[in-house]
Amino acid sequence: MIKNTEFIDKLRLSGLRPTKQRLKICEVLFNREKTFHFTINDLAKSISEQLNEKISLATVYNTVHAFKDKGYLKEISINSDKSYFDTNISNHHHFFDEDTNQLIDCHEDDIEKINIKRNITGKKIKSVEVLIKVASDNQNQN
């Protein structure tokens, strides 16, 4: 259980005012054991369910983007339907279950280190993301 003051410090440190809404969103996002993979809609739903309170959708978008920019969240590229975010900001990869639309973290040992032997001239590698799509045996390949 992370204390509210910790969130306040965290926000202040990164130049974000610790508003009521942001603190509530911190609670929902970071007060949990496992990492949380979510879409904006999932998050909005969690907020209204867990806190029985409504935060404007615009604020949820603003806050998630602010948190992403500050490095508290990672955005994950899965498909173009919607944006997925991850509270696990460490360098890691994902399984994506096409049957349930669930993301699952890859652990360090689940996948061998990716070894890239070419580089694009004048460019620097910003990130390397591996997405492993899985589905029940009887499903078609997408």
Partner DNA sequence: AACTACATTATAATTGTTCTAAACTGTTGA
Partner DNA sequence: TCAACAGTTTAGAACAATTATAATGTAGTT
The CB-of-61 to DNA minimum distance in angstroms stands at 4
Distance, in Å, from the CA atom of 100 to the CA atom of 103, rounded to the nearest integer, reads 9
Torsion of CA 78, 81, 85, 89, to 10 degrees: 20
Whether residue 23 contacts residue 57, with contact meaning beta carbons closer than 8 Å, is answered with no
Binding mask 82-111 for DNA (x = CB under 7 A): xx----------------------------
Distance, in Å, from the CA atom of 106 to the CA atom of 89, rounded to the nearest integer, reads 13
- Which residue from 6, 9, 49, 110 is in contact with a copy of itself, where contact means CB under 8 A? 110
Distance, in Å, from the CA atom of 73 to the CA atom of 18, rounded to the nearest integer, reads 17
Whether residue 42 contacts residue 87, with contact meaning beta carbons closer than 8 Å, is answered with no
The CB-of-60 to DNA minimum distance in angstroms stands at 8
- Which residue from 14, 19, 48, 139 is in contact with a copy of itself, where contact means CB under 8 A? 139
Query: Under the criterion CB under 7 A, does residue 46 sit at the interface with DNA?
Result: no
Which is closer to DNA, CB of 60 or CB of 93? 60
- Which residue from 4, 41, 102, 139 is in contact with DNA, where contact means CB under 7 A? 41
Distance, in Å, from the CA atom of 120 to the CA atom of 139, rounded to the nearest integer, reads 37
Residues of this chain, 19-78, that bind a copy of itself according to CB under 8 A:
75, 77-78
Residues lying near DNA in the complex (CB under 7 A) are found at 12, 15-22, 39-41, 54-59, 61-63, 65, 80-83
